[in-house]
Amino acid sequence: MCSCLIRILYSCLGGMIGTIIVAALEANLATRLDASFSFFDFFLADLALLIPFALAGGSAGGGLMCILEPGRMKTLGEYAEDLRSWPVLARLRMAALVPLLVFASFGWFLTLAHTAHQIFKQPSPMEVGVQLGFLSLAVFLLLLAVAFALYPSLRRVLAWLVQYHQCWVDPTFTGGGAVLLVLGMIGLGIGLGEPNGSSEGLWILGLLKKPAIDWKPLVNGLILATGIYLAPFAFYPVRRRLMTVLPILLITLLPLGVTLHQAHALNQNPSLVIALEEKAPLGGKALALWHRVVTWNREGDSLYHY
């Protein structure tokens, strides 16, 4: 139990580190676009908005990792080594199944993109939702059936190739190769496709580079998630004595004081609140969520009057 709590604490610390990085990136972007406020003011305000979510995400992520790995934490490399230690027949089956599932998932994603691009032209939202849900499920089941139909043939091909090299019965090799190939096709489709979605086939992925699609919140969220995931690996080998854990606990929880201070300071600076809403990719969404949390009723009466 104590070990699990320490891992959760380390995940929260990783979330805090990721939050500092994200707040610095967003403050740098915002001050380059608008020099009417300082980097430090924007950084503190953005950091204050993100800190509670970082602690909540760290607690949830650390708790989930404790459930999935109640013993010693394993790296991705150790999971790969565990796969390679399986019996040859089990590795062969997995090496054939993983790439088929990867390609089936990509085919489902691509088909769904074409389907949604056509269906969304209809005026009725209810009809769009029903058709999209039905077609996505039907396409998923069809591609899954195709993948399992091809499975025996691919397994025989891999069994023939293994006489030349053992990598063909390594699921990490075949699965990783399939993932790299799919990522390459996605990059090709985005690069050569048209942003208006007029292209066919793979080129419809050009829709993903439309100016209206902002990828910065997703990237910043991944930075936070990476910190939450990697921090226990970095700090867990540290000797778990009270004199070691207490400073980490203080470092993790003290930034909540920034949130409490900025919650009142933002009331005195409405221009900074507007800048956060417009120029902070992740902080703006956190601000909108906080506004909903502190709203008393549907008329918008709030604890904090922006």
Residue 201's region, left for phi above 0, alpha for psi from -120 to 50, else beta, is left
Residue 88: pLDDT above 80?
A: yes
pLDDT at 36: 78
For range 45-73, the mean pLDDT: 87
User: Do both 10 and 91 map to the same domain?
Assistant: no
> Which residue range forms the structural domain that includes residue 225?
2-73+214-293
Residue 300 lies in a domain: no
Residue 268 has pLDDT above 90, yes or no: no
138 in a domain, yes or no?
A: yes
Q: What is the pLDDT of residue 41?
A: 87
Q: How far is CA 260 from the centre of its chain?
A: 28
Which tokens sit at 245?
């854990």
- Ramachandran bin of 278, using left for φ above 0, alpha for ψ from -120 to 50, beta for the remaining angles: alpha
Q: Is residue 306 part of a domain?
A: no
CA distance 53 to 10: 15
Q: Does 199 fall in a domain? A: no
Q: Please tell me the predicted confidence (pLDDT) of residue 160.
A: 92
Average pLDDT over residues 118-139: 79
**How confident is the model at residue 182, as a pLDDT?**
94
The answer to whether residue 202 sits within a structural domain is no
DSSP helix/strand/coil, 302: strand
Q: What band does 208 get if pLDDT is binned at 50, 70 and 90?
A: confident
Least confident range from 24-38, 96-110, 220-234, 256-270: namely: 256-270
Left (φ > 0), alpha (ψ -120 to 50) or beta: where does 231 sit?
alpha
User: Is the pLDDT confidence value at 178 over 60?
Assistant: yes
Using the predicted structure, report yes or no on whether residue 37 has a pLDDT greater than 50: yes
On the question of pLDDT at 136 being above 70, the answer is yes
